[in-house]
A and B are shown apart, each in its own frame.
Chain A
């Protein structure tokens, strides 16, 4: 199969998959508490649909979706809702957010699932609704509500190609790899369902070429399932080939235009974990309540993959890996390139959590002092989005945000390739994140200042109106008084009783 090459990337990035890839997926035990943030996805936060003190069963919906770009939340096990309050969540800011906290009972009772025998008998809209009600979001890390992504008939886009993203390019993470090794037949069935929903002409399941065992497994499963539209392919191991736009370029040679989505060029791309969740929701009738997650790094005694319940506090998962080692220094949610540090292990995992990296000081890049930019241009050579990191750096640094936006700052995927290649160790991604969020704050401020201006002008208009009405009323009164006086003067005065008295 013909493959293309995207610009830049890091072909020689150390992969660190061996630490966690050799053991089978272990089912993590039930934790004492399950903590569910209401916002685990892109879009509006869900709204709680249970109250404190309610008893819930596994698979029950505990929060409703809020609008089109939103997703419901389900609980993984039975228990009692103990509180709906602010709790630390996995977010780089460290700020808390509203969460539903459930104390599990040992019973682990579940709602009866509603499986479908033959999905081809159901209308497509019904299948998409099942995906929506199951709370499925992109499990590769982006967490975009999948049902909204699949609902392309409304947008009249013609989808030709379905791409399944099994290219786990970030070092240390191996959850998708293990999923494909152990449960490939279910993933292939999920691909079949998606072909039916989207009406695509072909489906390509892509993995990196550093894992021949996994490739054998998916080839076997594809051959057994025997749908001629599904093909598998090995792509060169280059970071970040698993990025959606980079993968599309590699497999089809097409580039997604800036400001557009892949559906606009007839392509839909989904992570294999999401596909597995779709198969579970439709064929086995289960909502999204668990996911495969990699717990790895020198900081845990037994790094491997777990099938964990979403909402499990991280410390319970670390315990399942036999606890911390003596060299554990930092806890990172995600991989070493795009992850962020966590302040505590009381934080729960969410739908998009694909890896917990308990890093030793060796594994964390030491923060070298940045030196001045020597304008070498290595960053531009390495950028997989074909941007100009050097120019974006100069502009972000001097707060010239409009110019940075014109140079496609928002197309930056924050992969970190430019950071790694910079000989002066400049933290480029940090500068770009700062610039992006400064632009967003400026937009918000502009919105609120426009609103304030409207309110001020409305108030001025109202006061002027009131003044004019008052002036009008007093003018009318004056006129009325004048009119009253005139007739009184014209008629002769009637004699008063006092006149006679005086006389």
Chain B
């Protein structure tokens, strides 16, 4: 039990995928202009990451490993992730066309989100069980969503403030992200993992 709690704390705070491992920076910078968009993106990524994490684990465990096809791992994982993202895209398009329009290109770009492939591959590397893989993926996504929401709230306030001209836009956003990263360093050593 405590082991699963540890996985969650580790992936959400201590080894946050965006601020500590520096994966998934593309949607982090691209979708964080507005809070509503960020929340939508966070939910979409959570759905994709958890499902992809589980599916890739199962693909590796029941298909690739028994047949000795480990060298096809990367291709298989990418195909699995692409299918999951396409499904998510169709569902989002139907349920919330505005969110679909607003996310724009970043929704199919979840396919190339290195956090998603990273989670899938790390599960294999760490030799996680089924439940551990699922929790790892879920925790990674929650950590991603948390940081995305925090960052977009800050960005909304920074946009309307008196930012010096050379720093406006992405420059001040990256500085903020760096400072957030430094803040999250405070969690290191919390979990011996």
Contact = CB atoms under 8 A, between A and B. Distances in A.
Direct contact between the two chains A and B in their complex (CB within 8 A): yes
A398 B162 contact: no
Interface in A366-418: 372-373, 394-395, 397-398, 400
Interface residues of A, number: 7
A397 B157 CA distance: 12
Nearest to B157: A394
Interface centre among B157, B160, B161, B162 (most CB of A within 10 A): B160
A400 B160 CA distance: 9
Nearest to B159: A398
Nearest to A391: B157
B165 to A, nearest CB: 14
A394 B159 CA distance: 10
B154 to A, nearest CB: 13
B164 to A, nearest CB: 11
A397 B161 CA distance: 9
Contacts of A373: 162
Nearest to B162: A372
Nearest to A397: B160
Interface in B143-172: 157, 159-162
B134 to A, nearest CB: 37
A419 to B, nearest CB: 20
A398 B162 CA distance: 11
A406 to B, nearest CB: 12
Contacts of A398: 159-160
Contacts of B157: 394
B28 to A, nearest CB: 23
A259 to B, nearest CB: 24
A126 to B, nearest CB: 55
A407 to B, nearest CB: 13
B38 to A, nearest CB: 15
A395 B160 contact: yes
B151 to A, nearest CB: 18
A394 B157 CA distance: 8
B123 to A, nearest CB: 41
A145 B161 CA distance: 43
Contacts of B162: 372-373
Nearest to A393: B160
A373 B157 CA distance: 14
Contacts of B161: 394
A297 B11 CA distance: 68
B3 to A, nearest CB: 43
A35 B119 CA distance: 79
A123 B162 CA distance: 63
B95 to A, nearest CB: 24
B55 to A, nearest CB: 40
Nearest to B160: A398
A372 B163 CA distance: 11
Nearest to A398: B160
Contacts of A395: 160
A447 to B, nearest CB: 24
Contacts of B160: 394-395, 397-398, 400
Interface string A41-67: 000000000000000000000000000
Nearest to A395: B160
Nearest to B161: A394
Contacts of B159: 398
Contacts of A400: 160
Contacts of A394: 157, 160-161
Nearest to A375: B161
A250 B159 CA distance: 39
Contacts of A397: 160
A397 B162 CA distance: 11
A395 B160 CA distance: 7
A394 B160 CA distance: 6
B155 to A, nearest CB: 13
A307 B157 CA distance: 52
B36 to A, nearest CB: 11
A400 B162 CA distance: 15
Interface of B: 157, 159-162
Interface of A: 372-373, 394-395, 397-398, 400
10 contacts: A372-B162, A373-B162, A394-B157, A394-B160, A394-B161, A395-B160, A397-B160, A398-B159, A398-B160, A400-B160
Given A394-B161, A398-B159, 8 more contacts: A372-B162, A373-B162, A394-B157, A394-B160, A395-B160, A397-B160, A398-B160, A400-B160
